[in-house]
């Protein structure tokens, strides 16, 4: 393991369901806020609002992308609304913090969410001070992962050489571009038997079988333990 990552000097982490586990209650709260936003904006009942939300998610990659392209929704208004959630259920993760601190080189957050959401969530986990930067959906010019242009913008903004970087993600399709450009890729999956709150379309197989995907170099159900094994 140490040999496989010996060349890495930039460590890139997705936020949701990666730096905190998918059995945490944050994503259901955000998901519910998205439904509420659509229901209010378009005067729909919750069933119709949720149907629109998920249809746009699967067609455009994020619900926001669909709302912007089809209805010219203000992205900043949307992001401000959906990320105003209670994060008190997240406890400081000092073991993860220590593992991050021990990694040589830079650590960056790369998320389809907002900078505010990433900062507040990492603060709740007491790990925000370990990161050298946050690349959010606004920095990506509102084009979400897994679009290739978004990774190009990330690499340019943070001066990342993908061949000396590693990417940690909970969604397989978001590792396709990183693997293609030379990043070491790690899929973070739910622990066995744990509740998985992610969207059905994003769920990994949840086992070592995910290594069959060519874009996945490693799979772990315990991010902290995995990082500890690298130093």
pLDDT in tens, 16-72: 999 998 788 898 899 999 999 999 999 999 999 999 999 998 898 889 999 999 999
Per DSSP bridges, beta strands 218-220 and 133-135 are unpaired
Domain membership flag for residue 198: yes
Model pLDDT for residues 139-152, shown as the tens digit of each residue:
999 999 999 999 99
**3-state SS assignment for residue 37:** helix
Domain membership flag for residue 129: yes
How far apart CA 77 and CA 41 sit, in angstroms, is 11
133 is written with which tokens? 């930067």
What is the domain extent for residue 203? 10-22+90-228
Output the domain CATH number for residue 203: 3.40.50.1000
Domain membership flag for residue 1: no
Output the domain CATH number for residue 77: 1.10.150.450
Answer whether residue 198 shows pLDDT above 60. no
Answer whether residue 101 shows pLDDT above 80. yes
pTM beyond 0.85, yes or no: yes
* Same-domain pairing of 15 and 38: no
Answer whether residue 173 shows pLDDT above 50. yes
* Same-domain pairing of 102 and 164: yes
Mean pLDDT, residues 199-214 taken together: 61
Task: Calculate the CA 205 to chain-centre distance.
Answer: 17
* Same-domain pairing of 77 and 101: no
- What was the pLDDT predicted at 121? 97
Answer whether residue 179 shows pLDDT above 90. yes
Structurally, how many domains does the chain consist of? 2
* Same-domain pairing of 136 and 221: yes
How far apart CA 190 and CA 155 sit, in angstroms, is 28
Answer whether residue 176 shows pLDDT above 60. yes
Model pLDDT for residues 69-83, shown as the tens digit of each residue:
999 999 999 999 999
- What was the pLDDT predicted at 207? 53
* Same-domain pairing of 32 and 96: no
Domain membership flag for residue 157: yes
Answer whether residue 93 shows pLDDT above 90. yes
Q: Looking only at Cα atoms, what is the longest distance across the chain?
A: 56
* Same-domain pairing of 153 and 111: yes
């Amino acid at each position: 393991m140490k040999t496989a990552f010996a060349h890495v000097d930039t460590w890139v982490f997705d936020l949701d369901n990666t730096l905190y586990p998918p059995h945490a209650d944050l994503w259901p709260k955000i998901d519910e806020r998205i439904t509420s936003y659509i229901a209010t904006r378009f005067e729909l009942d919750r069933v119709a609002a949720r149907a629109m939300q998920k249809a746009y998610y699967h067609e455009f990659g994020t619900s926001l992308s669909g709302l912007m392209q089809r209805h010219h929704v203000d992205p900043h208004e949307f992001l401000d609304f959906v990320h105003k959630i209670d994060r008190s259920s997240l406890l400081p993760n000092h073991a993860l913090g220590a593992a991050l601190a021990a990694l040589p080189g830079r650590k960056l957050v790369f998320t389809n969410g907002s900078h505010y959401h990433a900062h507040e969530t990492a603060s709740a986990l007491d790990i925000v001070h370990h990161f050298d930067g946050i690349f959010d959906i606004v920095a990506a010019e509102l084009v979400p992962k897994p679009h290739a242009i978004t990774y190009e913008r990330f690499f340019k903004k943070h001066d990342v050489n993908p061949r000396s970087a590693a990417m940690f993600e909970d969604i397989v399709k978001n590792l396709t571009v990183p693997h293609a450009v030379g990043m070491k890729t790690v899929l973070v999956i739910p622990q066995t038997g744990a509740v998985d709150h992610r969207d059905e379309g994003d769920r990994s197989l949840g086992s070592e079988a995910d290594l069959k995907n060519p874009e996945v170099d490693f799979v772990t159900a315990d991010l902290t333990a995995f990082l500890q094994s690298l130093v």
